[in-house]
Chains A and B, each alone.
Chain A
Amino acid sequence: MTILELQNVQKYFATQKAVDDISFTIEQGSIFGLLGPNGAGKTTLLRMITGIFYPDSGRIIFKGKNFDPVKDVGNIGYMPEERGLYKKMKIGEQALYLAQLKGLSRSDALKKIKAWFVKFEMESWWNKKVEDLSKGMSQKLQFVTTVLHEPELIILDEPFSGLDPVNANLIKDEIFNLAKNGSTVIFSTHRMEQVEEICDHIVLVNKGTKILDGSVTQIKNQFKENVYRLGANTSAHNLMTYIFEVIKHQPNELLLKLLHDSTTNDVLKFFISQDIPINSFNEVLPTLNEIFIRLVEGTPEARQFQTIK
């Protein structure tokens, strides 16, 4: 089931097309990765999905209906990249306040906060102020306040920045948990290894337009370059062939790129015919990082300001 659908969404600022005609759909219960270089328009896109901005044109459909910020904000949890909490406020009160603003009743909110605080071992923090917390601790608190009201759509902008591996894992497990329980997670980051690990479906935006859309394996296959890793003890002089070229040669490992429509079996036959023992053989798919760099490189590093007619 589709929970969120963007149809030809556009948002122009005075000097820039921040989001220029982007459409995609997000399935309920999936973990969706929104990727893009700095200034690609991710934050603007997320702000439209959270109802902070209105699109100039196009439609946002949330749960089958036109998105109505006033009604639907209670169903969305947003953790922006620009993170913050009221520094002078006590942590318990703060969580309670933010939960009530999302429409939870006081007693309901209190119960849920207590449960989360126990889960994250934060019980002793209740009467502390945010300014007393370390960056990682306030990050955890921020995550709790984002998901506390059990939103159906959770939007996390760089959720792991500033977290140590232990806490990052804690949050990661929670993200998987939330998705398993039916919540949909939109996940925006530049950290590709996290995306590969977590996301089911990704969209890559650059300069305000969508340049890639699909599942992680789909995209990797789309960008694969027929490169294989072969474990064998060889020397370079006897590897001159029509079937493949050697990209990288190490004493016990080779990186091969297939040429001229040859198949993997051709490669294996070649090695067997040479009587070279093969220890391992597997395909090397490009990492998302490589795909990302390949797609984004070549475009100017920073977006240029342009006038909108």
Chain B
Amino acid sequence: MNKIWLIIKREYLTRVRNKTFLLSTFLLPIVMMLFIFGSAFFAMSSKEKLKKIAVINDPGMFKLNLKGDSSRIIFDFTNNVDSTNFSARGYDAVLNLNNDSTARKFTIHSKKQLGIDAQGMIENKLDRALENNQLQKKGIRKEILDSITKQANGAFTIENRLTSDKGKSQEVNAQVNYGVGFGSGILIYITMFIFGAMVMRGVMEEKTNRIAEVMVSSVKPFQLMMGKILGIAAVGLTQFFLWIVLIMLLSTIVGAFIPHELIQQAGDMNKNMPVGGNNAMAMKFMDIKQTAANINWLQIISCFIFYFLGGYLFYASLFAAIGSVINEDPQEAQSLMLPITMPIIFAFIIMSSNLNTPDSKIMVWASMIPFTSPIVMMARIPSGVPWQQLVLSMVLLIGGFLLTTWLAAKIYRTGILMYGKKATWKEMFKWAFRKS
């Protein structure tokens, strides 16, 4: 036990003190923050300024109903502007609505290209104006029209309540469950790959440094393998923790330094993105916040930790076994890794394609089998899983990782002393199942 502890300590310290670890730990959050704020900044600076558009419309058919909005576009009905002098008079563009309106094609002259956004918006406004024109021609007064539009915008939202067998109803929000499930599933998926590869490379370290024989004459191969797996898990957890702390720290610092209206604007922009009522979006947002508060976060977080560690331990020892049978050449790893990465990818595909039906047969089964359960079960948990299934899945996962560790240890102890030759699956199978 003491020896495992020494190995864990070494694996942990050498990795944590490594320059690449420090670099990736501290640079990633900074790069991420730069990326987020940078893209927000660029999005904002590329956002069109208020456009002043001169409109030439002699019969005045659009005059009444074509309205700009105060923040992005202004329509100005003038007579003495044409395509040659609009910029001298302070307009960004000139829109000529005098062409044959039955052809439904107008021209707009500008110095700079208008952009799809602005063009679409102008078309949209023209359509509205035409619609209102027609309605008014049929005798609907303008005030009535205005009040109708006002009332109808974002008038309804739908709330989905789940009724459990006990008759208790609970508000759910499919979107939140979807988000939390998908998020934790994908996080486990990614970490399994990163950490698995890290364990594999870590195991190869003894081989490439030719120290395996010295090590196994001092400690049992199983101790060495477990020490590595646990040490690397600790490194990963440390990195996670530091990332979270750093991102929180950085966002407060950045928040303090960047002018408030900039952030506000960025936020506004995001809300404005979808065409349609801002109101509805805001309501929905509130709604999501509300249901997010209703979710059982304690259950989700504790399950996440369990499935993260369980899934890691389940796969890490398999990766360790692979690492032990290959030589210096990492290329050799590819073909041997495939049977191990396949179930992980498979789990991810099941999870992402069946996220909308968390209780379907395939999801239930996949959340039981240890090969796929860490990813799939996490996606199911936010929408509620019967406790019998949860317990069964957890027991199977624990049993699963004990089994894989036991088998992997046997492959490991033979593989780690082999030089110059890559083992085949057949050989590994034989090592794993022979006695002692």
A residues engaging B (CB < 8 A)?
A: 14, 47, 50-52, 54, 69-70, 73, 76, 78-80, 82-89, 97-98, 100-102, 145
Contact A102 B216 (CB under 8 A): no
Q: Specify which chain B residues have a CB less than 8 angstroms from the CB of A52 in the assembled complex.
A: 213, 216-217, 417
CB distance from B412 to the nearest CB of A (A): 13
Q: CA A76 – CA B214 in complex, angstroms?
A: 11
Contact A84 B10 (CB under 8 A): no
| CB closest chain-A residue, reference B430 | A14
Given A83-B210, A84-B213: 6 more A-B contacts, CB < 8 Å: A70-B220, A78-B214, A82-B213, A86-B205, A86-B209, A101-B219
Q: Which of B205, B212, B218, B219 has the most CB of A within 10 A?
A: B218
Contact B417 A101 (CB under 8 A): no
Interface size of B in residues (CB-CB distance below 8 Å): 23
Known contacts: A76-B217, A101-B218. The answer to whether A85 contacts B209 by CB under 8 A is yes
CB distance from B204 to the nearest CB of A (A): 13
Cross-chain pairs A/B with CB under 8 angstroms, 29 sampled: A47-B213, A47-B417, A52-B216, A52-B417, A54-B436, A70-B220, A73-B217, A73-B218, A80-B213, A80-B214, A80-B217, A82-B210, A82-B212, A83-B210, A84-B209, A84-B212, A84-B213, A84-B214, A85-B209, A86-B14, A86-B205, A86-B211, A87-B209, A88-B18, A89-B14, A98-B214, A100-B6, A101-B6, A101-B218
Q: CA A83 – CA B417 in complex, angstroms?
A: 12
In the complex, which of the residues A14, A54, A78 contacts B217, with contact meaning CB atoms closer than 8 Å?
Answer: A78
Smallest CB-CB A-B distances: 6 pairs: A84-B210, A84-B211, A80-B213, A78-B217, A50-B217, A101-B218
Q: Does any Cβ of A come within 8 Å of B141's Cβ?
A: no
Known contacts: A88-B14, A101-B6. The answer to whether A51 contacts B209 by CB under 8 A is no
CB distance from A149 to the nearest CB of B (A): 9
Q: CA A82 – CA B417 in complex, angstroms?
A: 10
Contact A82 B419 (CB under 8 A): yes
Contact A78 B213 (CB under 8 A): yes
CB distance from A73 to the nearest CB of B (A): 6
Q: Does any Cβ of A come within 8 Å of B3's Cβ?
A: yes
CB distance from B409 to the nearest CB of A (A): 15
Q: Specify which chain A residues have a CB less than 8 angstroms from the CB of B7 in the assembled complex.
A: 101
CB distance from A223 to the nearest CB of B (A): 34
Q: Specify which chain B residues have a CB less than 8 angstroms from the CB of A76 in the assembled complex.
A: 217
| CB closest chain-B residue, reference A14 | B430
Q: Specify which chain B residues have a CB less than 8 angstroms from the CB of A82 in the assembled complex.
A: 210, 212-213, 419
Q: Specify which chain B residues have a CB less than 8 angstroms from the CB of A98 in the assembled complex.
A: 214, 218
Q: CA A54 – CA B211 in complex, angstroms?
A: 20
In the complex, which of the residues A14, A69, A87, A101 contacts B3, with contact meaning CB atoms closer than 8 Å?
Answer: A101
Interface residues in B408-423 (C-beta closer than 8 Å to A)? 417, 419
Q: Specify which chain A residues have a CB less than 8 angstroms from the CB of B211 in the assembled complex.
A: 84-86
CB distance from A298 to the nearest CB of B (A): 28
Q: Specify which chain A residues have a CB less than 8 angstroms from the CB of B205 in the assembled complex.
A: 86
CB distance from B230 to the nearest CB of A (A): 16
Q: CA A138 – CA B167 in complex, angstroms?
A: 74
| CB closest chain-A residue, reference B434 | A14
| CB closest chain-B residue, reference A54 | B436
Q: Specify which chain B residues have a CB less than 8 angstroms from the CB of A145 in the assembled complex.
A: 214
Interface residues in B26-66 (C-beta closer than 8 Å to A)? none
Q: CA A70 – CA B220 in complex, angstroms?
A: 8
Q: CA A100 – CA B10 in complex, angstroms?
A: 11
Q: CA A240 – CA B205 in complex, angstroms?
A: 69
Q: CA A79 – CA B214 in complex, angstroms?
A: 7
In the complex, which of the residues B6, B18, B209, B212 contacts A97, with contact meaning CB atoms closer than 8 Å?
Answer: B6
CB distance from A19 to the nearest CB of B (A): 15
| CB closest chain-B residue, reference A155 | B217
Q: Specify which chain A residues have a CB less than 8 angstroms from the CB of B14 in the assembled complex.
A: 86, 88-89
| CB closest chain-B residue, reference A100 | B6
| CB closest chain-B residue, reference A131 | B209
Q: Specify which chain B residues have a CB less than 8 angstroms from the CB of A79 in the assembled complex.
A: 214
Interface residues in B186-218 (C-beta closer than 8 Å to A)? 205, 209-218
CB distance from A105 to the nearest CB of B (A): 10
Q: Specify which chain B residues have a CB less than 8 angstroms from the CB of A83 in the assembled complex.
A: 210
Q: Specify which chain B residues have a CB less than 8 angstroms from the CB of A69 in the assembled complex.
A: 220
| CB closest chain-B residue, reference A69 | B220
CB distance from B419 to the nearest CB of A (A): 7
Q: Which of B18, B213, B436 has the most CB of A within 10 A?
A: B213
Q: Specify which chain B residues have a CB less than 8 angstroms from the CB of A101 in the assembled complex.
A: 3, 6-7, 215, 218-219
Q: Specify which chain A residues have a CB less than 8 angstroms from the CB of B217 in the assembled complex.
A: 50-52, 73, 76, 78, 80
Q: CA A86 – CA B3 in complex, angstroms?
A: 17
Q: Specify which chain A residues have a CB less than 8 angstroms from the CB of B213 in the assembled complex.
A: 47, 52, 78, 80, 82, 84
Q: CA A100 – CA B218 in complex, angstroms?
A: 10
CB distance from B120 to the nearest CB of A (A): 57
Q: Specify which chain B residues have a CB less than 8 angstroms from the CB of A51 in the assembled complex.
A: 217
Q: Specify which chain A residues have a CB less than 8 angstroms from the CB of B220 in the assembled complex.
A: 69-70
| CB closest chain-A residue, reference B3 | A101
Q: CA A54 – CA B410 in complex, angstroms?
A: 14
Q: Specify which chain A residues have a CB less than 8 angstroms from the CB of B436 in the assembled complex.
A: 54
Q: CA A54 – CA B220 in complex, angstroms?
A: 12
Q: CA A14 – CA B214 in complex, angstroms?
A: 24
Q: CA A99 – CA B213 in complex, angstroms?
A: 15
CB distance from B421 to the nearest CB of A (A): 13
Q: CA A98 – CA B211 in complex, angstroms?
A: 11
CB distance from B136 to the nearest CB of A (A): 80
Proximity string of chain B (208-251) to chain A, C-beta cutoff 8 Å, 1 when within and 0 when not = 01111111111110000000000000000000000000000000
Q: CA A50 – CA B220 in complex, angstroms?
A: 11
| CB closest chain-A residue, reference B427 | A14
CB distance from B302 to the nearest CB of A (A): 36
Q: Specify which chain B residues have a CB less than 8 angstroms from the CB of A100 in the assembled complex.
A: 6
Q: Which of A52, A54, A89 has the most CB of B within 10 A?
A: A52
Q: CA A69 – CA B217 in complex, angstroms?
A: 8
Q: Specify which chain B residues have a CB less than 8 angstroms from the CB of A80 in the assembled complex.
A: 213-214, 217
Known contacts: A86-B209, A97-B10. The answer to whether A102 contacts B214 by CB under 8 A is no
Q: CA A76 – CA B218 in complex, angstroms?
A: 9
Q: Specify which chain B residues have a CB less than 8 angstroms from the CB of A102 in the assembled complex.
A: 218
CB distance from B413 to the nearest CB of A (A): 9
Q: Specify which chain A residues have a CB less than 8 angstroms from the CB of B18 in the assembled complex.
A: 88
CB distance from B406 to the nearest CB of A (A): 18
Q: CA A80 – CA B217 in complex, angstroms?
A: 10
Q: CA A70 – CA B210 in complex, angstroms?
A: 22
